[in-house]
Structure 1
Amino acid sequence: MRKINILIFVFCLLFSMVGCHDDLDVENKSGISSDAVFSDEGLVEAFLYTLYSYTGVDYMRGIGSIGSDGPSNRLYNNTFQMASITDEARAKSGWVGANRNVAPGNISPTDNRGLEPNFWRNCYRGIRECSTMIEGLKDSSLEESFVSQMSAEARWLRAMLYFELVRRYGGVPLITAPQGIDDDLLVSRNTADEVYDFIFSELEAAANDLPSVNDGASRDRANKEGAWALNGRAMLYAERWAQSAMLSKRVIDAGMELSPDYNALFRSYGDDPEILFEVRVEVGTFAHGADKWNWPLGYRSEAGGQTNPTQEFVDSYETTDGLPITDPLSIYDPNDPYANRDPRFAASIGFHGNPFGLTPKTGIDRLDIEFIIGRDGLRNPNDGNDTQTGYYLKKFMDPSLGLDPDRGASKTSFKHIRFGEVLLNYAEAKNEDSGPDQSVHDAINEIRSRPSVNMPDIPAGLDKDEMRERIRQERKIELAFETHRWYDLIRWRIAEDVLNGKQFHGMKITRTTPVPDPYEAEYDPANLVYDPTFVVSTTVPQVFLPHFYLMPIPQSEIDKNINLRQNPGY
């Protein structure tokens, strides 16, 4: 495991030496020269550990010290999960950036607080620090294999940061050496193609010097298979289909495997065999806030209930016969809507009657989301943390925390790259490049045949367009709530159709029988009425304008650099 807290003080000493150009300091106050740092393995590793804080975590509030609201992770710092600005979910509270900024269309160069504030600045700060390490190791006298791996990890991290930039902003300045006070700081934007060229070459080179997970390489540090997978993802975004398919096929051929239990995968603390790169936490030191901010109403005493899946997303899950619920031949029953559904539904979404994995204060282990009267109920008047859609987030929730995870002390790792995504990346790239051959079918069916899922194979004989839609559907379900949906809608250029002007819905559940005294939850579908037309009235119809396909560069960066051009529409 990466030791997040070991020798962390070294970063403070080094910071004046590696800060970004807007706070350059020509005097090194640390008292430690760069020559000394890059001549000591312990100091080099300590420096590398600080670079991993830029790998990002989508959980609310990121990763921070237990009991604090301030994350130490410096890349993502959302007050919501990315799912809440897609058709996957809605955020509950008006104060979060999803509802205050993003959903109503208040995205601008001067107020981008709603979507990863300081992202541009922090990415370039991380890029500079990575470049400082890469340059510093070039003349190092340390053992060659150590230098090669440390340099490769820094190159992997730098390429990852450039990918995060290019998929948000398009072409960005490509800076590959640490800038000094005498350098030209008024750099222009490179094209997106030039950035993707750099990412491809950097990750190809890094992979050659990184250890393999098959040889015991850590999954919370850059490794060979993770470099191929990240590169395959980046080339998918670049629409370089042949390259993307080739890179993902390398991972497949390396013998990676899916975790047998889809539910347990997202509750793991580290080293699940499906994971290619993850951000772990230090038990007792660092944690994240997924449970604190998403726990159902009846299972905790503070916060929670923030990410509420939409009815539209719930309706995307097939029935166990492999048919959509809209197909008249499917076994879907609107009077018992949660029965006979793709098992990934019950693993990902908290619905009425779904066991939540622990015994709440009442002694009942199932969610009770009856309208108003339910312990976790939609429009429950006893608490402002009730669901707004009739559903809660279940994926990532950790039942081992007990009844009251209100200190943000979750310990599950954040899964950045996993083999399930690689299979989907391969299927999409291969289909776009040369059509739906048997390897495309095999990749999708491997995901659907995971032992805990066991869904039917997709139909044979699909043409390229039909396969494209099947792949998009499978990504939607398999990767639910894992940050991919927003960027998939963006790169497929369908975000306007899916999001703009949409007012999403939830499930209103009432009973046909009298409410007993003392109260008892009703779970018998025969006595319940399910109304999926309930409008989520606490949020406005979402606004997604054509120029939102690229994020605005912060105006503060434009003001500092006359050669930096803003994205169109802003």
Structure 2
Amino acid sequence: MKAFTRFICTAALGLSGALASSCKEDILYIPPVANNTVDEFYKNETQVNQGVMSIYNGCLSLPENSYWFLAEFRSDNVAADVATVQRDYSDVSNFNATSQTQQLQATWTDLYEIVYRSNVLLERIQPFTFARVEQFKGEARFLRALAYFDLVRYWGPVPIVDKTLTIEQSKTIPRAPVADVYKFIIDDLTFAAESLPSTYVVTTGSATDASNKGRATKWAAKALLAKVYLTMYGYPLRQASALPLAKQQLMDVYAAASPTTFSVAQNFADLFKSANDNRYSVFEIQYQSGNTGLGNPIPWQQGQVFPTFWSPFTAFAADFTLPPALFGANWPKIDKRKAATLDSVIRNPTTGAIVAGRPQFTKFLEKGVTGVQSRTDYPNNFPIIRFEDVVLMYAEVLNEEAGSPPAMALTLINQIRTRSGLAAFTATSPEAATKDAFRAAVLKERRYEFIAEGQRWHDLVRTGNAISVMTAFKRATTGTTPTGGANFRQLDEHDLIFPIPILELRINPGFWEQNPGYN
């Protein structure tokens, strides 16, 4: 699929209509050759497939703008200083973001661009009857649901848009209640699970291989649906009825694991190597190097200083540090995930000499990688739903529905622990003594398993731990300014979502109300 992800579908609006009103259309109207518009596209199956690829293309920015700058910086995985000058990542991290924080607008725009492209595809595909019509619809609705899942978790009530709109129509779409947004997501994912294939026909070395590898599958839809249900079980909806629904989806995906679909990687570091793209995960964002604008920017964004024997391009070096919980006895060296996730000492591979540096995330950096032509041109994919996520969610669900952790829940969490070099939990382990103890153990396991992948903040929110954990974390790790350190304010419920971007509010002033607690 990577060969197609650069296609972008655009809509021609405004100027052409104004000109046509005063001149002859057959003279003025010349179909563009270099840049296809929606009206001139979607003429056959090949072009419809390219339209589907345009939706995947819209997802390329999510790991950077959504999972890194919003989710990770909001969590206790990153300790960002209170900046002396305005920095979006500092404001997000220190709960100082406002409706004018540009990172919020960038992420909002990215997510609704995916929604828009999905809606265009779903409308333009209607006249066709070729065999892949239902698959293409399923892919569009899966990706639309993925976008809305982020939108509702970041902003709460958001407008539901299920068709393309004129400018005037867009001004009259209300923000839908959170429960309605989740219902919309469930409808999309249920359709996707019923319409997408379990696997795609892949012929090694052919065009078929390039166009199908990495596409969303039935299992990706069911795994995301399970996460949606598990989130609905937690904050803010707290729907007990969602738990068994999550369990059923997880059981299905877990049973489908195999060496040819997805599985737990026995070597944790292998998960993030480009040679293993689409091998272990249920669904990934597809990247490729080659200076075509399709490369992965995450290694550059998450690092601090890359010596030349790691990469020809140094890292972004945003002003953040790694928190104490990632060092010492808190996260023991025996856990193989630690060395594969961060570096606190940089050594020259030839001399062994220590190179000056600061602790940094190197999870997505393939050290010594060749062929990278810019800071945002790394080749490895970014996982959206790893099979390990399915395993740990399944363990969590089994524990939640029982009075104490059942044997299967222990089996599941131990799949992750033993692969990581840690001792397995037994029925007599403190972590298995009570439902609460096991719940805390799963949350801790998820932190170290998915650190730097944009999962931690959402886990803290849905489990009801965000306010207490993040208040204590900020008081312990931020500076001593009036907004940091011991003086850091007590967080409250309004901090669990972001303010609506100011530009969105100005589209129709007074129509939408700002989220409580924000200007």
Q: Does 1:414 align with 2:402?
A: no
- Structure 1 pair 312/220, CA: closer, same or farther in 2 (3 Å)? same
Deviations 1:85-119 (A, max 9, x none): 4222235895784654123332112x222x44332
**Structure 1: how far apart are the matches of 2:167 and 2:480?**
53
- Secondary structure at the counterpart of residue 238 of structure 1: helix
**Structure 2: how far apart are the matches of 1:492 and 1:567?**
21
Decide which of 381, 404, 422 is 1:455's aligned counterpart: 422
Q: Which residue number corresponds to residue 23 of structure 2?
A: none
Q: Which amino acid aligns with 2:454?
A: T
Q: Does 1:197 align with 2:164?
A: no
Q: Is the 8 A contact 2:304 2:314 kept in 1?
A: no
**Structure 2: how far apart are the matches of 1:96 and 1:428?**
39
**Structure 2: how far apart are the matches of 1:493 and 1:316?**
26
Decide which of 346, 351, 369 is 1:364's aligned counterpart: 351
Q: Which residue number corresponds to residue 248 of structure 2?
A: 246
**Structure 1: how far apart are the matches of 2:61 and 2:414?**
29
Q: Does 1:401 align with 2:369?
A: yes
Q: Does 1:101 align with 2:91?
A: yes
- Structure 1 pair 297/155, CA: closer, same or farther in 2 (3 Å)? closer
Q: Which residue number corresponds to residue 487 of structure 1?
A: 458
Q: Does 1:260 align with 2:248?
A: no
Decide which of 318, 326, 344 is 2:337's aligned counterpart: 344
Q: Which amino acid aligns with 2:184?
A: F
- Structure 1 pair 81/163, CA: closer, same or farther in 2 (3 Å)? closer
Q: Which residue number corresponds to residue 529 of structure 1?
A: none
- Secondary structure at the counterpart of residue 187 of structure 2: helix
- Structure 1 pair 316/431, CA: closer, same or farther in 2 (3 Å)? farther
Correspondence list, 1:194-343, <5 A: 194-213=180-199, 216=202, 218=212, 220-239=214-233, 240-255=242-257, 256-284=262-290, 285=292, 286-295=294-303, 297=305, 299-300=307-308, 302-306=314-318, 308-315=321-328, 317-319=330-332, 338=333, 341-343=334-336
Task: Give the drift of 1:46.
Answer: 1.7
- Structure 1 pair 294/37, CA: closer, same or farther in 2 (3 Å)? closer
Q: Does 1:476 align with 2:444?
A: no
**Structure 2: how far apart are the matches of 1:419 and 1:82?**
20
Task: Give the drift of 1:180.
Answer: 3.3
Cα RMSD over matched residues? 3.5
Deviations 1:345-395 (A, max 9, x none): 12212133x76xxx55xx3357x3xxxxxx32xxxxxxxxx42xxx22131
Q: Which residue number corresponds to residue 77 of structure 2?
A: 88
- Structure 1 pair 470/149, CA: closer, same or farther in 2 (3 Å)? same
Correspondence list, 1:160-199, <5 A: 160-180=146-166, 183=169, 185-199=171-185
Task: Give the drift of 1:469.
Answer: 0.8
Deviations 1:20-53 (A, max 9, x none): xxx9978898667857633312211222211113
Flag the structure with higher helix content: 2
Paired residues in the alignment total 468
**Structure 2: how far apart are the matches of 1:154 and 1:272?**
19
Task: Give the drift of 1:176.
Answer: 1.5
Q: Which amino acid aligns with 2:224?
A: L
**Structure 2: how far apart are the matches of 1:30 and 1:36?**
7
**Structure 2: how far apart are the matches of 1:86 and 1:159?**
23
Q: Which amino acid aligns with 1:277?
A: F
**Structure 2: how far apart are the matches of 1:491 and 1:24?**
47
Task: Give the drift of 1:465.
Answer: 1.2
- Secondary structure at the counterpart of residue 400 of structure 1: coil
- Structure 1 pair 254/87, CA: closer, same or farther in 2 (3 Å)? same
Task: Give the drift of 1:313.
Answer: 2.7
- Structure 1 pair 134/283, CA: closer, same or farther in 2 (3 Å)? same
Q: Which residue number corresponds to residue 2 of structure 2?
A: 2
**Structure 1: how far apart are the matches of 2:122 and 2:434?**
47
Further displaced range: 81-90 or 470-479: 81-90
**Structure 2: how far apart are the matches of 1:456 and 1:85?**
31
Q: Is the 8 A contact 1:93 1:99 kept in 2?
A: no
- Structure 1 pair 219/442, CA: closer, same or farther in 2 (3 Å)? farther
Deviations 1:427-463 (A, max 9, x none): 222322334222222211111122xx23221231532
The unaligned stretches of length 5 or more in structure 2 are 21-28, 203-208, 234-241
Q: Is the 8 A contact 1:213 1:219 kept in 2?
A: no
Q: Which residue number corresponds to residue 101 of structure 2?
A: 112
Q: Which amino acid aligns with 1:16?
A: A
Task: Give the drift of 1:156.
Answer: 0.7
Q: Is the 8 A contact 1:552 1:567 kept in 2?
A: yes
Q: Does 1:564 align with 2:485?
A: no
Q: Is the 8 A contact 1:105 1:543 kept in 2?
A: no
Q: Which residue number corresponds to residue 15 of structure 1?
A: 11
Task: Give the drift of 1:566.
Answer: 2.0
- Structure 1 pair 406/112, CA: closer, same or farther in 2 (3 Å)? same
Q: Which residue number corresponds to residue 122 of structure 2?
A: 134
Q: Does 1:445 align with 2:451?
A: no
**What TM-score, normalized by structure 2, do the two folds share?**
0.79
Q: Which residue number corresponds to residue 206 of structure 2?
A: none
- Secondary structure at the counterpart of residue 422 of structure 1: helix
Identity score, percent: 25
